[in-house]
Amino acid sequence: MSIHIFEDLVEFIEAKINDNIWLFGDKLPSIRCLAAEHGVSKNTVIRALMELEQKGLVEAKPKVGYFVSKINKTHKIPQQLYPNLAPLEVTVPEIFYDIMSRSAAFDILPKSTPLPPSNHLIELNRHISRALRDSVHNKSMYYDSPLGLESLRQQIKDRYRLRGLSLGVDDFCITSGCQHALFLALLVTCKPGDNVAVESPAFYGVVQLLEQLNLNIIEVSASAVSGLDPDELEKALAHWQIKACIVTPTFATPTGSTMPVKAREKLISLANAHDFAVIEDDIYGELSFTNNIAPLKALDSQQRVILCSSFSKSLSRDLRIGWIAAGRWQDDVVRLKLTSQLASCQTQQQGIASFISSGGFRRHLDHFTRTLQHQRQQLLTALAKYWPNNIRYTVPKGGIALWLELDSNIDTAKLYNETIKETIIITPGALFTCSNYYRNYIRLSFNHPTVGKREKAIKTLGQLIKNHST
Ligand SMILES: Cc1ncc(COP(=O)(O)O)c(C=O)c1O
């Protein structure tokens, strides 16, 4: 397909919307009509529409067609804050434990009727059931090897190869989820009292680990779009010794940011120059709506990037299967896993490996990322409809969440206590820092469709926010 033809079509539709020829809510001509009118293939039209969907200009309604969506085209992104670059002892905010007891607030209505299971997950369960039946004969009397099941590590290795990272099967060790992998990574690289640099806003699970391990946090400013700011990290390194830096380069939570290649290169060169470990949380790495994004570890020439991830976001949180590729610390990690966990469940690993090798995981991801992209659009449309128009927000090209900055009068931790009465669970900004930042920020997930009761909940939240803004 010629790039010109594609770009011309994107520009044509964009101009119709920007010039208010096609208005909010208007149905776009059908894919067939657009293809015939512009003398292009239907595939070119579909790609152009997907690109415009990412830009927030159009919205797909399944089986109906594409519509102009009411997204504020000149929306502002949340402001980047610059925390004080000094080590702090960590205290996890009390609100954390409350939210974790309510499904970590990746859903504003966790008590609502569950969604019907996807066909892919039913297929995964079949693979696990088959592995369970086989296990009666050969698995139940023996522990798995400390590295984890080779056939699963092989599948994980192959998936990374597709994303531009070439590692060997034994470079991976299976863990009990990504949180466990992060825990092992910190244990092998740091001792109590060491300083750990963390992007700010930070994943609250990391904050919790630092508290538990008596490690000091240095919160390093991160942009809501391009993630950890390596220039800020460099400033911190001028004053403090840092043993490890934990970063989510691809679709970080809470912002959805992705670090550009230049920033990744600078981070690696700082790590090499100052001799610290980089702990990469890649849990959202496969949830890209566009192209495959290589993990940071693909740039690692000194075996100092520890790659941590799991199937929790890409497949199911309930599997409790993750992995770690710890480079120069791999032997220490494997020994520590043996000490702390002995082994992982072979049946579960066997079932996942067989699901991936059958092509089920690839099909699931294709479907899931399209669904997430559609749900992101639904959420943005609801925000445009029901929330005040002075909000700032990110529009990530992957992952499962948006980061929003509200009116400076609003304290989202107080709002949390209010919305709980309406059984709506929000994730306040206070959760993503050890200091007093992000008071008027909030993370919203698009892991569920914003329809029915969830759309109503977004409306109610919008009303509460409007009441507090005035
Ligand atoms: C960025 C990030 N890392 C790690 C985890 C924990 O993952 P797991 O369920 O695999 O332990 C989460 C869960 O929310 C997360 O958002």
Question: Does any ligand 1 atom lie closer than 6 A to the CB of residue 281?
Answer: yes
Q: What is the mean pLDDT of the chain?
A: 91
Rg (CA), the chain: 23
Question: Where is mean pLDDT largest: 2-6, 175-179, 313-317, 367-371?
Answer: 175-179
Neighbours of 246 (CB within 10 A): 27
285 Cβ closer than 6 Å to some ligand 1 atom: no
Question: Same domain, yes or no, for 314 and 236?
Answer: yes
Which tens digit of pLDDT belongs to each residue from 340-381?
999 999 999 999 999 999 999 999 999 999 999 999 989 998
Mutate to test the pocket of ligand 1, among 99, 179, 352 (most ligand atoms within 8 A of CB): 179
Report pLDDT for 1.
47
Here the CATH number for the domain that contains residue 36 is: 1.10.10.10
Nearest CA to ligand 1 atom 16: 253
Domain boundary among 342, 361, 380: 361
Q: Percent of the chain scored above 90 by pLDDT? A: 70
Segment 50-75 mean pLDDT: 78
Same domain assignment for residues 57 and 18? yes
User: Do residues 337 and 424 share a domain?
Assistant: no
Tell me, using a 6 A CB cutoff, whether residue 322 lines ligand 1. Answer: yes
Residue 322 CA, closest ligand 1 atom number:
10
Q: Tokens for 119? A: 């066909």
Number of domains present in the structure of the chain = 3
| 316 contact partners, CB below 8 Å, separation of at least 6 | 121, 124
Last residue of a domain, one of 325, 341, 361: 361
Q: Do 44 and 107 share a domain, yes or no?
A: no
Ligand 1 pocket test: which of 96, 175, 178 has the largest number of ligand atoms within 8 Å of its C-beta? 178
- Mean pLDDT for 40-48 is 88
The CATH number given to whatever domain includes residue 459 is 3.90.1150.10
Q: Verify that 275 and 406 share a domain, yes or no.
A: no
Taking the C-alpha atoms of residue 187 and residue 210, their distance in angstroms, rounded to an integer, is: 10
The answer to whether residue 89 is domain-embedded is no
- Annotate 211-223 with b (16+ C-beta within 10 A) or e (fewer): bebebbbbbbbbb
Q: How confident is the model at residue 181, as a pLDDT?
A: 98
Look at residue 352 in the predicted model and tell me its pLDDT. 98
Read off the pLDDT of each residue in 226-254 and give the average, rounded to a whole number: 97
Residue-number span of the structural domain to which 240 is assigned? 121-361
Residues 286 and 355 in one domain: yes
Tell me, yes or no, whether 335 and 241 share the same domain. yes
Q: How far apart are CA 403 and CA 385, in angstroms?
A: 18
Q: Are 212 and 357 in contact (CB under 8 A)?
A: no
User: Does 248 contact ligand 1 (Cβ within 6 A)?
Assistant: yes
Which is more confident, 186 or 121? Answer: 186
The confidence score (pLDDT) of residue 73 equals 55
Residue 19: is its pLDDT beyond 80? Answer: no
CA angle 42-45-48, nearest 5°? Answer: 150
**Residue 317's CATH number:** 3.40.640.10
CA 286 – CA 369 distance, rounded (Å) = 9
What pLDDT score does 25 carry? 74
> pLDDT tens, 190-229?
999 999 999 999 999 999 999 999 999 999 999 999 999 9
**Spatial distance between the Cα atoms of 9 and 38, rounded to a whole number of angstroms:** 8
Render 66-95 in DSSP notation, one character per residue. Answer: EEE----TTPPPPPPP----S-B-----TH
Is 84 within a domain?
no
- Centroid of ligand 1 to alpha carbon of 337 (angstroms): 18
Average pLDDT on 230-234 reads 97
Q: What is the pLDDT at residue 98?
A: 82
